[in-house]
Structure 1
Amino acid sequence: MWTNLDRPPLDLAALRRALVDGPQASWSRFDVVESTGSTNADLIAQADGLADRTALVAEHQDSGRGRHARPFSGPPRSQLLLSVLVRFPGIDPAVLGWLPLLAGVAVVDALRTVAAVDAALKWPNDVLIEGRKVAGILAEVAQHGSAPTVVVGIGLNVSLSESELPVPTATSLVLEKAAVVDRDTLLRAILRGIGAEIDSWRNSNWNTEQLANRYRERCDTIGRGVRVELPGEKQILGDATDVDNQGRIVVRDGNTGELIAVAAGDVTHLRAIDPGHH
């Protein structure tokens, strides 16, 4: 197992053999760069000339960002910083919002299977282990039209030490004593998983029902007390009861009992001892 002091570079040739050239290949192009501002921004800027299923990984990002443009960074080679470009001919643009949730399912399954950690999803697309964030996902539409193009970015904390974590509520695979912390192995599993999830979704003619079920099974937010911060400084305090077929979190308002479907907003998981919430 690699220690924190020994963060080896990704093996580009071996990864290309596995992901682009090999019998299980499901990607058309795979590149690794030493450092960049943001892999998502790089793929969006080049979207016109890139084939469907292009993957780009950076050993370090100096202006990576998560949802709401929050900065996301760590020491070189301590994370997996990955973006994928995917084209969706014939899809209803209304269901494209499912793509980051689909990526979350693939990441959770890869971490459970390969790293043997108890990963789960916090709606919409944070990956948690024991309530602490190990990965985040951000999707951006690069091109609209008859074949929309979406870029999905994934940042996974692999070997960050306690002192290197961006926030105290984060964690890393090393800190969670994962069975595997080799980034090549993790990357192969995640990219194969995303490819398989997209194939399955495409084969269902972009039907979201099965995807919604798979997401619900892995979502730790359902059944929890939550606080949802909405635009305009509004908030809802209540219980998350479901994720609907549009990918929205459904919250039963603790004051009115009304069921409210939320498409965007910041969700905080509450503990049972929070004042005012039982």
Structure 2
Amino acid sequence: MPTEPEPQRPPVGPAPARHELDAERLRAALVRGADPDAFYRRLDVVTETASTNADLLAAARDPGTDRRVLLAEFQHGGRGRHSRGWAGVPRAQVIVSVLLRMPGIDLADLGWLPLLAGTATVDAIRSVTGVDAELKWPNDVLVGGRKVAGILAEVAGTHPEPVVVVGIGLNVSLTEDELPVPTATSLALAGATDLDRTALAEALLRELARRWQQWYVAGWDVTGPAAAYRERCGTLGRRVRAVLPGDTELHGVAADIDEQGRIVITPDDGGEPIAVSAGDITHLRPVP
């Protein structure tokens, strides 16, 4: 089945200047102590690590650890969905993980956290760079049909309350030659002129905190996160191919995101809509 034509990429040029993240600026803006109303309790920036998610999953064993942020200038053992490995490029990405305790949430609603993080990432990109990012279900962030950011949430524990680590990897100044796969892109390749990773990290973390707090105050009601997600989801209304567990395929139109965060697909054969909770989604051309 043909997919949409791939957009043209800009000519390859030299990598932009790559500056270190300003840890003190981030702490002053985001961490309690510097600001008594701040959401986060600790923020660290490390030069290199295997996986920021793995580091915070280990830190979650301390019951006093909450709202902790870890950023890395370089990550050499990261993991994506389905345990796919990936490595970063030093000072070319925003690589960040956040540990969050979720008191009182129904375990069935935890799947909304990575979708909420996707919404926050889209809004941070738009506000800082003006680049028109959108979401591809479930939580890939696309620019011009290519992946610019990915999100992975992992449950560290469920008792006495759920603890989740959500990791975000955003390609900022990667050149054509540095892209991990041909379907990826970076903000630089998308034409962004503001490539300040500190500003991007601050905007992303502020937006994540704001949306998390709204969700918490609403008693973990998914209505608000679902509405915001749908507004930014470029998959809705598109013809898609879903590769489901067991390598079966479903072709149809992505009609909705349900209250469990599943994508609801109306099959091409006219059958009843099917809610898909896991699978690889490809955007397809409309049927002529």
Change (3 A) 1:53 1:179: same
Tell me, what secondary structure is at the counterpart of 1:48? Answer: coil
Deviation string 1:88-140 (CA, Å, 9 cap, x unpaired) is 11111110000000000101111111110100000000000111100000000
Q: Distance in 2 between matches of 1:149 and 1:74?
A: 26
1:146 counterpart (148, 160, 163): 160
Match of 2:18 in 1: 7
Match of 1:34 in 2: 47
One-letter amino acid of the counterpart of residue 271, structure 2? G
Q: Give the alignment's Cα RMSD to 1 decimal.
A: 1.3
Report 1:139-218 matches (<5 A). 139-218=153-232
Change (3 A) 1:219 1:17: same
Q: Is the 8 A contact 2:59 2:65 kept in 1?
A: no
Q: Distance in 1 between matches of 2:223 and 2:193?
A: 33
Report how far residue 146 of structure 1 moved.
3.5
Report how far residue 221 of structure 1 moved.
0.3
Stretches of structure 2 that go unaligned for 5 or more consecutive residues are: 1-13
Q: Is the 8 A contact 2:80 2:86 kept in 1?
A: yes
2:60 counterpart (24, 47, 54): 47
TM-score by length of 1: 0.95
Q: Mean Cα displacement is larger for which, 64-73 or 118-127?
A: 64-73
Stretches of structure 1 that go unaligned for 5 or more consecutive residues are: none
Report how far residue 262 of structure 1 moved.
0.4
Report the count of equivalent residues. 272
Q: Is the 8 A contact 2:16 2:173 kept in 1?
A: no
Deviation string 1:16-72 (CA, Å, 9 cap, x unpaired) is 111112366221100011111110011001102252210001111111111011122
Does the alignment pair 1:123 with 2:137? yes
TM-score by length of 2: 0.92
Match of 1:258 in 2: 272
Q: Distance in 2 between matches of 1:72 and 1:155?
A: 10
Identity %: 57
Does the alignment pair 1:242 with 2:253? no
Q: Displaced runs of 4+ in structure 1, greater than 6 A?
A: none
Match of 1:227 in 2: 241
Q: Distance in 1 between matches of 2:253 and 2:37?
A: 42
Q: Is the 8 A contact 1:114 1:179 kept in 2?
A: no
Tell me, what secondary structure is at the counterpart of 1:175? Answer: coil
Q: Distance in 2 between matches of 1:109 and 1:6?
A: 24
Change (3 A) 1:179 1:23: farther
Q: Distance in 2 between matches of 1:104 and 1:45?
A: 24
Q: Is the 8 A contact 1:116 1:179 kept in 2?
A: no
One-letter amino acid of the counterpart of residue 47, structure 1? A
Report how far residue 248 of structure 1 moved.
0.3
